[in-house]
Amino acid sequence: MSGTDSTKAAVVVGPSPAIILVRPQMGENIGAAARAMKNFGLNQMRIVDPRDGWPNEKAHAMSSRADDILDGATLYDDAPAAVADLHAVYATTARAREMEKPCLTPREAVGDMRQRLARGQEIGILFGGEKAGLHNDDATLAQNIIQIPANPAFSSINLGQAVLLVAYEWFTAGPLPEAVIAGDSLPATLDELAYFENRLEAELLEKGFLKPPEKRPSMMRNLRNIFRRADLTGQEVRSLHGVISALIRREGDSDD
């Protein structure tokens, strides 16, 4: 279907979220996602550990001339690397999880994204692979969960369709809000936050807090969820590093 001139004139300009496909299996679905992105004004694709390798001829065949998005896609080994430079991430999932995170519809999520982009933040949206969706550790990276309303008895949505539904809400939401000067109040990047969380985990492990061992992954996911929800600034993360340093400093050590 071809768009009218008025539709073409409605292309969203300015900053936009990165679409991050985590362990996609079929090249056709990557291509369908690229086509949906181009339909609705998104142009930044990131791909994590695609099953069939990259580049993928089937992706290009399915993209219906969205080749520029596929050619410009960046490849990552894992999800933490794919979000490291971002300030906020949204995880798209149909499964209920034992995580205390805001759960938004695509429309609600797009409203929050636009406010963040206006404040100068870099953001991304995680989409899981076709077979199992996002792992719990992938979802832990996000500050918010996106759930697409669907038939509870048949809620699984194809990867390309999920990208299309979120991209449609992005496109139809209208122009971005007026930019806000953020100053020093930008949230920490997820790489800065992960470095702090890993340091905290190492210290808690040394002090015997993360017991029994089989509970360690879920305990750390709970702690990470606390910090992700808090939207900590870079300065606040540095202050927390200082707190850890003070707590582990041995008696008699200098403050220098």
Give the domain-ending residue among 142, 172, 202: 172
Same domain, 152 and 216: no
> Using one digit for the tens of pLDDT, what is the confidence trace for 58-96?
999 999 999 999 999 999 999 999 999 999 999 998 765
Examine the domain organization and report whether 130 and 199 are in the same domain: no
> Is residue 18 domain-shared with residue 64, that is, in the same domain?
yes
Rounded CA gap, 100 and 94, in Å? 16
Residue the block writes with tokens 């894992």: 78
Upper half-sphere CA count for residue 202 (Cβ side, 13 Å): 10
Query: Which class for 96: exposed (0-12), middle (13-18), buried (19 or more C-beta within 10 A)?
Result: exposed
210 plus 117 within the same structural domain:
no
Question: How many Å apart are CA 178 and CA 67, to the nearest integer?
Answer: 31
230 token code pair: 């808090």
Residues 158 and 209 in one domain: no
* Nearest partner of 140 among 81, 236, 218, judged by Cα: 218
Domain assignment of residue 68, yes or no: yes
- Considering the domain architecture, whether residues 88 and 147 belong to the same structural domain is answered as yes
Q: Find the range with the poorest average confidence among 144-148, 177-181, 205-209.
A: 177-181
CA-nearest of 124, 106, 86 to 171 is: 106
212, HSE (Cβ side, Cα atoms, 13 Å): 1
Q: What is the pLDDT of residue 5?
A: 41
Please state the domain count of the chain: 2
145 touches 102 (CB < 8 A): yes
Please tell me whether residues 163 and 57 are part of one structural domain. yes
DSSP secondary structure string for all residues of 175-214: SPPPP---TT-PBPPHHHHHHHHHHHHHHHHHTT-S-SGG
Q: Is residue 179 situated within a structural domain?
A: no
State the pLDDT at residue 223: 94
* Whether residue 140 is found in the same domain as residue 73: yes
Does residue 165 sit in the same domain as residue 198? no
Classify residue 185: in a domain, yes or no: no
C-alpha distances (whole Å) from 5 to each of 2, 8, 10, 11, 39 are: 10, 5, 9, 11, 14
CATH of the domain at 58: 3.40.1280.10
In a domain, 164, yes or no: yes
Q: How far apart are CA 58 and CA 30, in angstroms?
A: 9
User: What pLDDT is recorded for position 10?
Assistant: 44
Looking at 105, 140, 172, the residue that finishes a domain is 172
Residue 38 lies in a domain: yes
Instruction: Please report the pLDDT score of residue 146 as a whole number.
Output: 96
Amino acid 175: pLDDT: 81
Q: Could you report the per-residue pLDDT of 6-61, keeping only the tens digit for each?
A: 344 345 567 899 999 999 999 999 999 999 999 999 999 999 999 999 999 999 99
> Does the pLDDT value for residue 116 go beyond 80?
yes
Q: What is the pLDDT of residue 105?
A: 95
- What pLDDT score was predicted for residue 178? 78
Q: What is the mean pLDDT of the chain?
A: 89
pLDDT class of 200 with cuts at 50, 70, 90? very high
How confident is the model at residue 13, as a pLDDT?
A: 60
- Cα–Cα distance, 15 to 42 (Å, whole number): 9
Calculated CA dihedral for residues 189, 224, 144, 182, nearest 10 degrees: -30
The DSSP H or E segment spanning 46 is: strand 45-48
Q: Are residues 152 and 203 in the same domain?
A: no
State yes or no: pLDDT of 251 exceeds 70. Answer: no
45-49, 77-81, 99-103, 112-116: least confident range? 99-103
Residue 154: half-sphere exposure toward Cβ, Cα within 13 Å: 1
Question: 144 and 99 in one domain?
Answer: yes
> What's the pLDDT score for residue 93?
87
Pick the more confident residue, 151 or 179: 151
Q: How many CB atoms lie within 10 A of CB 21?
A: 25
Classify residue 109: in a domain, yes or no. yes
Q: Is the pLDDT of residue 159 over 50?
A: yes
Choosing from 172, 205, 232, the residue where a domain stops is 172
Domain that holds residue 100: 5-172
Same domain, 19 and 57: yes
